[in-house]
Amino acid sequence: MLKDITIGQYIPGDTPVHNLDPRVKIVITFTFIAALFLVNKFFGYLFIIGFMAMAVYFSKIPVKQLFKGLKPLIIIILLTVALNIFMTEGEVIYTIWKLKVTKEGLIQAGFMALRLIFLITGASLLTLTTSPISLTDGIEKLLNPLKKVGVPAHELAMMMTIALRFIPTLLEETDKIMKAQMARGADFETGNIISRAKAMVPLLVPLFISAFRRADELALAMEARCYRGGENRTRMKQLMIERRDYVAIIITVIFMAAVLWSRYAVI
C-alpha cells in the first residue's frame, strides 16, 4: 500500500512532457486543478479526460503507475462519496434506515469523486515527469516577484521540494520498520480499521527519529558543500521558454476555454 503512493516520485525520461519548462508545467498543473473546480456538468469532464489522456500519452508514463497512487486514498474517496450521497438534501430516491439517498447527492458525489481522482493523478504526473532540481528552479522562478516584498523565494522553493522528495523516502523507511516489527510478531493486517490504526502507533517513534536523522544528515551534507541559499547561486542549466512550451501553453488556453464554455453553455 505504501509503495503505491506516486506523489513525490520521479521517473526519468526524454518525452515532450519531461522536456517542458518546469515553470510551464507548474502553471499548467494549477490551471488543470482550477478547471476541475470550474466544471459543473458531467459532459465538461470530457475535456478533462481528453487533456489528461493527451498529457499521459506524451509523457509515456504507464497508466498503471499513474493510477496506482489512488489505492492508498481509496478509503478517503469512498468516504467523501458516502458523505455527499447521504448528507446532501434534495429529491429522495431511496431510503436506507434513517439515511436518505438523494438525486442531488448522487450528482455531487460523482463530481467529488472525479475531482479527487483527477486531482491526485494530475499532481502525480507533475512530480513523475519533473526532476527535483527542475521543480525547485521552477518554483523559485515563479516566486521571484515576491522577493520585492521580502519573501525568501529560493528558501521556500527548496523547502517545498525537499518536503515533496522526502515523501517516498519516508514511505520506504516506514515499510522497512513495518517489516522489522512484523518479523518480531507485530500484526498490521488483521482486524478492523480502528485496530489497524492502533497497530500503526508504534511506528511513529522510530519513524520520527529516522526523519530527524535524515534531515540532520541532509543539512550537514548541504553545509559541507558550502550551500548558502539563493544568494549568488549559479545554475548549470538556465531555464528557457522554448517553442514546445508555447505549444503547451496554447493547448492549455484552449482547454481552459473549453471548460469555461462547458460551465456556462446552456445544454
Q: How high does pLDDT run on average in the chain?
A: 81
**C-alpha pair distances (Å), 230 with each of 11, 154, 165, 218:** 27, 5, 19, 17
- What are 207-246's pLDDT values in tens digits? 888 888 888 888 888 888 777 766 666 666 777 888 999 9
- What are 27-42's pLDDT values in tens digits? 999 999 999 989 888 8
SS3 99: strand
The more confidently predicted of residues 191 and 93 is 93
| Residues in contact with 140: Cβ distance below 8 Å, sequence separation at least 6, in sequence order | 153, 154, 156, 157, 158, 230
pLDDT beyond 60 at 3: no
pLDDT beyond 70 at 68: yes
In angstroms, the CA 125 to CA 252 distance is 15
Q: Long-range contact list for 41-48, CB < 8 A, 24+ apart? A: 41/262, 41/263, 41/267, 42/110, 42/111, 43/262, 43/267, 44/259, 44/262, 44/263, 45/114, 47/255, 47/258, 47/259, 47/262, 48/114, 48/118, 48/259
In angstroms, the CA 47 to CA 227 distance is 45
pLDDT for residue 251: 94
pLDDT beyond 60 at 63: yes
pLDDT beyond 60 at 267: no
Positive/negative CA dihedral, 27, 115, 19, 65? positive
pLDDT for residue 47: 92
pLDDT for residue 227: 74
Q: Are 56 and 169 in contact (CB under 8 A)?
A: no
In angstroms, the CA 213 to CA 208 distance is 9
